[in-house]
C-alpha cells in the first residue's frame, strides 16, 4: 500500500496546482473592481496590488500568462506522470485475468488510465476551481495574490519571452492590444448590470429607477421636458410696480422671465428675492423693472439633459430660455425640471399634485395630453414609439394629421387613444383604451395605477409651472 502513497500524492499535487492556476485566472477576470477598492480602503495590501494589476494592461497580461503557463506545466506533468503511473497499476490486474493478451491488456490499461485521469483533471482541476473562483472571486484573488507574485517572479524570464511572442503574433494578425479600459463598462452595459441586479433582488426598485433615470438624461433633450412657449409665465418690461407685485402674488413662482414686445425678446429674469429687497429698502429709488432683472441664458431645444445639467451647475443658473432652430423662443427649462427627471415630481407648499393617469376601468385609463409617450409605456407596460412626437396628445394629432376635437380617436399598436378634452389647440386629456384586461389580482379600478418610474411630468397652469 505504501508504494501507492507517493504517486497518489504527486498526482493530487499536480491536480491541486492546476486548480490553483485555474482559480487565479478566473478570479482576476471575474472580481468586481468596486469590491477591491473597498478592501483597499480598509487597508488590504493584496487588494491594492490586484488593483494595480487591473489598472495596467501589461500587468494583466503577465498575470494571466503566469496562470496559463502554470496550467500548462501542471497539465503536462499530470499527463506524463499520472497516465504512466495509473496504467502500470491497472496492467497487472488486467493481465492476471488470463483472457487478455499482454498487448491488449496494455492498451486497455492505457485507455482506462487516460479516461480516469482526464475525468479527475477536468472535474477537480478545472470545473470545480473555476466555479468557486467565479462565485468567490474577491477572496480567491486576494488569497492567491502572494502565491501568484512569487511564481511570476520565479518564471519571469519565461513569462516575458512567451508573452512577447504572443503579443507579436497578435499584432501580426492586425488585432490591436487591449488597454486597461477594456475592463470598464459602457453606459449600456451598466444599465444591463442594474437590470440584472434588480431582478435578483440586490437592488430596490426605487434605486433601480433612479439609476435608470440618470442614464436616460443623455437620451432625452431639453425640448422634451421644457415648459412650452404658450405656457410660459412671464412679465412685460412695461409692468408697473403695482402690476408686478400683483402678478408675483398671483402666480407664486420664484423666477419670472421679463420680455419686451413679445416672448422672442427677453430682457432678463426677475427673482422674487431681488423684488423683495427692493421693496424692503425704505430709501429705494423709483421702481424700474429693467434695473431689477438679471441676464438670462439661452440653449437649443436639442441639447441633451445631461449637458443641460452640467451647464446649470457650471453657470450657476436655475432657469434658461429654450430656442428652436430658427432662433425663436420654444419654451423654458429650470434646474428643477431636470432634477425631477431623476427623482420624480418635487412639490412645494403651493403645488397641487396632478396624477399623470387615472384608472377608470380595467381597460380604460384617462391620461394627460402632455404625458410623455415613454412615461405612458412605463406606467401601462406598452411599447408605443413615434420618431417625431413626444407626448400622448402630440401622438394623436400626428396620427390624425390635423388639429383634434373631443371625440377624435387614433389606434396605435392595438391601443386606442380618444381625445376627451382640449384647451385651445392643445389636447388636454386622452382616454386610453387598452387592448386586454390586466391581472385582476393586481388591478384596482378605483385607484390610479402606481407610478413605477421616478421621471417627472410636464407642468401646466395650476401645476408647478417654472417656479424653482
> Mean pLDDT throughout 38-64?
87
43 and 90 in a single domain? The answer is yes
Does 319 score more than 60 pLDDT?
A: yes
* Residue ending a domain, choose from 313, 343, 373: 343
Residue 304: domain span: 222-343
Consecutive H or E run containing 21: helix 2-30
Sign of CA dihedral 224, 229, 235, 238: positive
| 252 against 262, higher pLDDT | 262
Residue listed under C-alpha cell 423662443: 329
Query: Whose CA is closest to 423, among 226, 225, 230?
Result: 230
Residue 119 included in any domain: yes
Q: How many angstroms separate the CA atoms of 63 and 154, rounded?
A: 13
> What pLDDT does residue 310 have?
94
**How many CB atoms sit inside 10 A of residue 228's CB?**
17
What average pLDDT does this structure show over 271-280? 90
- C-alpha 13/C-alpha 224 separation (Å) is 65
What gap in Å lies between CA 139 and CA 314, rounded to an integer?
42
What would the mean pLDDT of 17-22 be, rounded to a whole number? 94
In this structure, are 315 and 287 located in the same domain? yes
Give the count of domains, the chain.
4
3-state secondary structure of 77: helix
Q: What's residue 461's pLDDT?
A: 37
Q: What percent of the chain has pLDDT over 70?
A: 87
Mean pLDDT of the chain: 83
On whether residue 349 sits in a domain, the answer given is: no
Residue ending a domain, choose from 201, 216, 231: 216
| CATH number of the domain residue 320 falls in | 3.10.580.10
pLDDT value, residue 373: 85
Which of the four pLDDT bands, split at 50, 70 and 90, describes residue 259?
very high
In a domain, 234, yes or no: yes
Q: Is residue 462 part of a domain?
A: no
- Please name every residue paired with 357 in a beta bridge, in sequence order, or none if there are none: 367
Residue 201 has pLDDT above 90, yes or no: no
Which residues does residue 271 pair with via DSSP β-bridges, in sequence order?
255
For 298-312, write each residue's pLDDT tens digit. Answer: 999 999 999 999 999
Does residue 325 share a domain with residue 230? yes
Cell numbers describing residue 438: 390586466
For the CA atoms of 399, 403, 404, 405, the dihedral, rounded to the nearest 10 degrees, stands at -160
Residues 228 and 209 grouped into a single domain: no
pLDDT of 264 strictly over 60: yes
Start-end of H helices in 317-404? 335-343, 373-380, 392-400
Share of the chain above pLDDT 90, in %: 31
Residue 295 pLDDT: 93
- pLDDT(322) > 90: yes
Asked if residue 428 is part of any domain, the answer here is yes
Residues 43 and 119 in one domain: yes
Query: Does any domain span residue 451?
Result: no
What pLDDT is stored for residue 17 in this prediction? 93
The pLDDT confidence band at residue 178, using thresholds 50, 70 and 90, is: low
pLDDT band at 445, cuts 50/70/90?
very low
pLDDT over 90 (residue 184): no
Q: Is residue 125 domain-shared with residue 9, that is, in the same domain?
A: yes
Residue 451 has pLDDT above 50, yes or no: no
Beta strand 409-412 with 415-423 is: antiparallel
Q: What is the pLDDT of residue 281?
A: 81
C-alpha to C-alpha distance for 149 and 137, rounded to whole angstroms? 17
Q: What is the mean pLDDT of residues 349-362?
A: 74
Q: For 281-317, give the DSSP string.
A: -TTPPPP-HHHH-B--EEEETT-BHHHHHHHHHHHT-
Q: Residue 240 has what pLDDT?
A: 92
Determine the pLDDT at residue 468.
46
pTM of the model: 0.59
Judgement on whether residues 370 and 428 belong to the same structural domain of the protein: yes
Beta bridge partners of 358: 366
Render pLDDT for 328-343 as a digit per residue (tens, 0 to 9).
Answer: 999 999 999 999 888 8
281 and 257 part of one domain: yes
What is residue 431's predicted lDDT score, i.e. its pLDDT?
92
Domain assignment of residue 446, yes or no: no
Q: Which pairs from 392-401 meet CB under 8 Å and 24+ separation?
A: 392/367, 392/368, 392/417, 392/427, 392/430, 392/432, 393/369, 393/419, 393/426, 393/427, 393/428, 393/430, 394/427, 396/369, 396/427, 396/430, 397/427
151 and 164, same domain (yes or no):
yes
Question: Looking up cell 389606434, which residue turns up?
Answer: 411
Q: What is the rounded CA–CA span in Å between residue 60 and residue 45?
A: 18
Task: Return the pLDDT at 455.
Answer: 45
Per the DSSP assignment, residues forming a β-bridge with 365 are 359, 432
Question: Do residues 83 and 25 share a domain?
Answer: yes
How far, CA to CA in Å, does 27 sit from each of 58, 65, 143, 151, 153?
Answer: 18, 14, 11, 17, 20
Give the per-residue pLDDT at 252: 83
Q: Domain holding 389: CATH number?
A: 3.30.465.10
Tens-place pLDDT, residues 124-168: 999 999 999 999 999 999 999 999 999 988 888 888 888 788 878
Position 130 scores a pLDDT of: 93
Average pLDDT of 279-297? 85
Q: Is residue 439 part of a domain?
A: no
Q: Are 205 and 155 found together in one domain? A: no
- At 454, the pLDDT band (50, 70, 90 cuts) reads very low
Identify whether residues 39 and 143 lie together within a single domain.
yes
What pLDDT sits at residue 19? 94
Amino acid at each position: 500500500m505504501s508504494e501507492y502513497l507517493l504517486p497518489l500524492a504527486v498526482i493530487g499535487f499536480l491536480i491541486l496546482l492546476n486548480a490553483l492556476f485555474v482559480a487565479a485566472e478566473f478570479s482576476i477576470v471575474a472580481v468586481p473592481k468596486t469590491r477591491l477598492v473597498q478592501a483597499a480602503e480598509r487597508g488590504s495590501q493584496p487588494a491594492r496590488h490586484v488593483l494595480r494589476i487591473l489598472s495596467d494592461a501589461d500587468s494583466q497580461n503577465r498575470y494571466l500568462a503566469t496562470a496559463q503557463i502554470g496550467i500548462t506545466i501542471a497539465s503536462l506533468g499530470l499527463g506524463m506522470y499520472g497516465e504512466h503511473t495509473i496504467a502500470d497499476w491497472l496492467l497487472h490486474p488486467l493481465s492476471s485475468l488470463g483472457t487478455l493478451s499482454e498487448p491488449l491488456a496494455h492498451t486497455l490499461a492505457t485507455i482506462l488510465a487516460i479516461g480516469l485521469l482526464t475525468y479527475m483533471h477536468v472535474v477537480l482541476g478545472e470545473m470545480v476551481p473555476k466555479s468557486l473562483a467565479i462565485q468567490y472571486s474577491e477572496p480567491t484573488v486576494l488569497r492567491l495574490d502572494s502565491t501568484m507574485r512569487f511564481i511570476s517572479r520565479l518564471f519571469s524570464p519565461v513569462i516575458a519571452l512567451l508573452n512577447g511572442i504572443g503579443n507579436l503574433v497578435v499584432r501580426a494578425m492586425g488585432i490591436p492590444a487591449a488597454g486597461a479600459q477594456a475592463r470598464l463598462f459602457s453606459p449600456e452595459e451598466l444599465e444591463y448590470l442594474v437590470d440584472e441586479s434588480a431582478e435578483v433582488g440586490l437592488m430596490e426598485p426605487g434605486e433601480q429607477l433612479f439609476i435608470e433615470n440618470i442614464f436616460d438624461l443623455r437620451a432625452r433633450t431639453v425640448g422634451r421636458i421644457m415648459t412650452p412657449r404658450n405656457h410660459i409665465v412671464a412679465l412685460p418690461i412695461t409692468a408697473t410696480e403695482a402690476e408686478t407685485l400683483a402678478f408675483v402674488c398671483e402666480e407664486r413662482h420664484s423666477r419670472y422671465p421679463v420680455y419686451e414686445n413679445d416672448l422672442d425678446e427677453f430682457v432678463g429674469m426677475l427673482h422674487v428675492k431681488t423684488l423683495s429687497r427692493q421693496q424692503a429698502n425704505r430709501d429705494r429709488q423709483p421702481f424700474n423693472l429693467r434695473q431689477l432683472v438679471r441676464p438670462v441664458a439661452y440653449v437649443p431645444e436639442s441639447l441633451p439633459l445631461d449637458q443641460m445639467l452640467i451647464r446649470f451647475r457650471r453657470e450657476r443658473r436655475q432657469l434658461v430660455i429654450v430656442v428652436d432652430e430658427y432662433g425663436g423662443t420654444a419654451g423654458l427649462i429650470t434646474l428643477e425640471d431636470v432634477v425631477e427627471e431623476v427623482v420624480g415630481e418635487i412639490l412645494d407648499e403651493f403645488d397641487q399634485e396632478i396624477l399623470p393617469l387615472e384608472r377608470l376601468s380595467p381597460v380604460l385609463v384617462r391620461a394627460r395630453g402632455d404625458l410623455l409617450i415613454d412615461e405612458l409605456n412605463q406606467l401601462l407596460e406598452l411599447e408605443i414609439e413615434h420618431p417625431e412626437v413626444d407626448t400622448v396628445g402630440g401622438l394623436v394629432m400626428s396620427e390624425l394629421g390635423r388639429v383634434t376635437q373631443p371625440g377624435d380617436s387614433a389606434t396605435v399598436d392595438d391601443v386606442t387613444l380618444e381625445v376627451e378634452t382640449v384647451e385651445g389647440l392643445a389636447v388636454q386629456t386622452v382616454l386610453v383604451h387598452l387592448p386586454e384586461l390586466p391581472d385582476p389580482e393586481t388591478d384596482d379600478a378605483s385607484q390610479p395605477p402606481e407610478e413605477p418610474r421616478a421621471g417627472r411630468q410636464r407642468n401646466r397652469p395650476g401645476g408647478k409651472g417654472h417656479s424653482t
